[in-house]
Chain A
């Protein structure tokens, strides 16, 4: 039997999706169900003077209306933040409450004020219009730099100057010294704009309370049902976990935005108990725009010092990170531990210092969005390197090669200790760039570019060589950095008596194809057919525990937990096999689904051992029956995928429009289980980066209104904006997890945006334009060219 590992196996889960049989949260209809509609603030900052719900309650079909007053009276806490990032002075992070429904003061457009629950969705919406709310509008601030100026409107009284924390990492003095002495310093000041994740399935949640056994069930479009259960039970509603089941059924994309514990989840769970009926809430897209946690939103000044040979000698970064009005679950970790720690990039820079102001504003919360902090770090580095190359007159590829960390495998050579806390696991950074240059045919491209220029065509090429920290990560390490959760993963491998295998994983698939990739691993290790393996995920009643899927961690952490359980099964199986074959355990070998006495034709198959384990008549003395093992895997380090992305663009200087001609990516994500799925992850990730580079931007006006609050205003990348991709990979196995995998979910997004921006600026090199803020819309590019 040939190995299933490394094969582009077609996906197991596809059949239900292509036939319309997927089961997403909003598809679920429970008997006697009610429908919730949430009334949201139209103001960015306002006092609630009066709420009159009497007309709504009197309407036929309205079941209940709850306001912030009711939530406060019930003694319900707000949703918590999961990561504590303190001030560099040691002062504790400012952590304001985030109530399920606001009682006194709304803090952003979209803040939840009241909920109407009715017999039908239509009645809930109709009734919401009968609720009268008097607001007194207050001054607001949406820009993080303005928010930290003296006299700016305060979002929370507990946070002077709107600062949640001021965080730093690296050696300030050494960095300042190196910058001061540098031969050349490249400086960029830019905005890494706010993004809206836009999973195509809007968020939805159903609370279902069963009074007969006091059990709560929450169906929710979430990336990590167990964490939602933990946070909701322990911090919000004070429910006993064994009486709460959280199910994340099919989930229509997440990209980070469905990691977090949202107020609506606790609200429908609580309301269902009040009413004794199921309560469903489904976001309208316009609600998703103003309430799904946003991404990025950094205002950054970054300086890179070079010596006369083009070696990077220092990097200094100052960022104001907009956190929004409330602290979403992982919001504080994103601009700090997921951003500052990646500023080494692929380079040997000897001095790095980063300081981040975490800032409250009257905007929707910002949290992890595909890449989460690492795209921001990569953007800083890759724009600086490319700008520096242009300023120094050195080829941008050559400048990178000169500064790359030399290859190391992490086994015979140690990991690479960065200036910013991390230790990279293994890498050969030259190899990915060399391959990407070969794919794009760099030498000939420069000739083609020069030819095109003569004909009035502006072609440009841009590079990005990135690294990311994935598979997050050792619980003790993240705990010491302020995480309030462990970041291990669990897996149970249950061998059924007939030799079929059920695997219960705490990872959650919302497009990543776990039901296929994990089954490949299991089938391969046991030497059985993939048809005999079922992957179960997303239900806290089936799966013992889980930390969910984000940070490209599923295979590296969740897959490793599965491998641990597989090993336990095989160890016990060997004991049973030795007994049956009347041989010593040491004389057995397991391959192709059977245990064989070495050097003989005596063997026994996996299914026979499974049956023996459950029908233990002829069985090793003292051994427990059954073949069913659980494991928890806590990694010893992050994993560090990396790669080289190259974009080729043509800019129409008359209109400012950028056309993406080619996009080449050579990534190293460690070992690959299913190359088809990995390529798909790269393609999708790359387009989210291209979206940021060219199209997407969340814009708040000065009154705190999100003026890009619909698909009519927020530009999503469409099929006809994008070329076919050219992807390849190198493989440097991760030395510290059993599969040697590093993670592929975020690579595309992290690498692609700076490549595209660098390419546009390369195309426009004759116009002497140093920078254009993303997204590089035709208007902005045209203005940059024509100086207006």
Chain B
């Protein structure tokens, strides 16, 4: 069975036909060709597919495309604005928070969500927030530092306003 959905992704409106069983992650990757959102497992464990739906980080392999009808979605491709990196993206580069890059989009989206909720996280806050995202390369050390970098930068930006 096919369903018609309307969804805004990275500020762009889409009207799509999706199979009822279609997972959101396949809709993003196959239909919209936003391949920055990755698939790393089939048990909603690894977090590589994390995107932000209506302001909340979710694993897009646990949602059906049909469920996002009327929603607004942000993926890694939509995070940088006007050629400027989001502070979390910048933090990952500055602190060497990535190696192979496969888990990185999901990590970044989870970290963006964390900093929305908690702008001044402790190291343990960051580690707990990221425990649903697997990274096999970095040992998490520099990912934690990347998120701290972003928190500091975003804090300073707020202070300047």
Contact = CB atoms under 8 A, between A and B. Distances in A.
A82 interface: no
Contacts of A251: 100
Contact of A253 (B45, B85, B102, B144): B102
A252 B139 contact: no
Given A200-B46, A720-B124, A687 B76 contact: no
B136 A724 contact: no
Contact of A719 (B35, B127, B137): B127
Contacts of B130: 718-720
Given A20-B35, A680-B142, A11 B93 contact: yes
Given A687-B139, A712-B45, A200 B96 contact: no
Contact of B39 (A19, A202, A511): A202
A683 B138 contact: yes
A122 B31 CA distance: 14
A725 B141 CA distance: 7
Interface of B is mostly: loop
B36 A677 contact: no
Contacts of B46: 200, 285, 711
Interface string A586-622: 0000000000000000000000000000000000000
A719 B131 contact: yes
Interface string A9-41: 011011111111111101101000000000000
16 contacts: A18-B92, A18-B104, A18-B105, A29-B33, A198-B136, A201-B100, A250-B100, A252-B101, A253-B137, A512-B99, A683-B141, A683-B142, A685-B139, A688-B136, A711-B45, A724-B144
A510 B100 contact: yes
Contact of B134 (A11, A710, A716): A716
Interface in B41-60: 41-43, 45-46, 48
Interface in B93-139: 93-94, 96, 98-105, 108, 123-124, 126-128, 130-131, 133-139
Given A10-B94, A13-B101, A711-B45, A255 B136 contact: yes
A686 B139 contact: yes
A371 interface: no
Contacts of A684: 99, 136-139
Given A19-B80, A201-B100, A722 B105 contact: no
Q: 8 closest pairs, A vs B, by CB?
A: A20-B36, A252-B102, A17-B101, A511-B100, A711-B45, A511-B99, A20-B76, A683-B139
Given A511-B100, A720-B127, 18 more contacts: A11-B93, A17-B104, A19-B76, A19-B80, A20-B105, A27-B35, A199-B100, A200-B46, A200-B103, A201-B38, A201-B40, A201-B102, A253-B137, A285-B40, A285-B41, A684-B137, A686-B139, A712-B45
Contacts of A724: 123, 141, 144
Contacts of A513: 99
Nearest to A250: B101
Contacts of A720: 124, 127-128, 130-131
A200 B98 contact: no
Nearest to A8: B96
Contacts of A17: 98, 101, 104-105
A688 B33 CA distance: 33
A722 B134 CA distance: 12
A17 B105 CA distance: 7
A204 to B, nearest CB: 10
A531 B39 CA distance: 33
B7 interface: no
A284 interface: yes
A286 interface: yes
B136 A20 contact: no
A253 B139 CA distance: 13
Contact of A22 (B94, B102, B137): B102
A122 to B, nearest CB: 7
Contacts of A510: 100
Given A285-B43, A684-B136, A719-B130, A18 B100 contact: no
A718 B134 contact: yes
A59 interface: no
B137 A718 contact: no
Contacts of A19: 36, 76-77, 79-80, 85, 89
A763 to B, nearest CB: 22
Contacts of B144: 719, 724
Interface in A735-769: 748
B34 interface: yes
Contacts of A677: 96
Contacts of B149: none
B80 A680 contact: no
A58 interface: no
Nearest to A285: B41
A36 to B, nearest CB: 16
A11 B94 CA distance: 9
Interface-central residue, A199, A511, A688, by most chain B CB under 10 Å: A511
A253 B100 contact: yes
B142 A24 contact: no
B33 to A, nearest CB: 8
A676 interface: yes
A15 B134 contact: no
Nearest to B106: A200
A415 to B, nearest CB: 32
B127 A18 contact: no
Contact of A252 (B36, B75, B100): B100
B44 to A, nearest CB: 9
Contact of A710 (B43, B123, B141): B43
A716 B131 CA distance: 10
Nearest to B133: A719
Contact of B42 (A18, A284, A511): A284
A200 B139 contact: no
B156 to A, nearest CB: 20
Nearest to B134: A716
A604 to B, nearest CB: 37
B96 A680 contact: yes
A250 B34 CA distance: 16
Interface string A501-517: 00000000011110000
Nearest to B98: A17
B89 A18 contact: yes
Contacts of B85: 18-19
Given A11-B96, A676-B96, A511 B143 contact: no
Given A11-B96, A19-B76, A687-B139, A122 B42 contact: no
B19 A122 contact: yes
Contacts of B100: 199-201, 250-253, 510-511
Nearest to A677: B96
A200 B131 contact: no
B102 A285 contact: no
Nearest to B103: A200
Interface string B73-89: 00111011000010001
A719 B19 contact: no
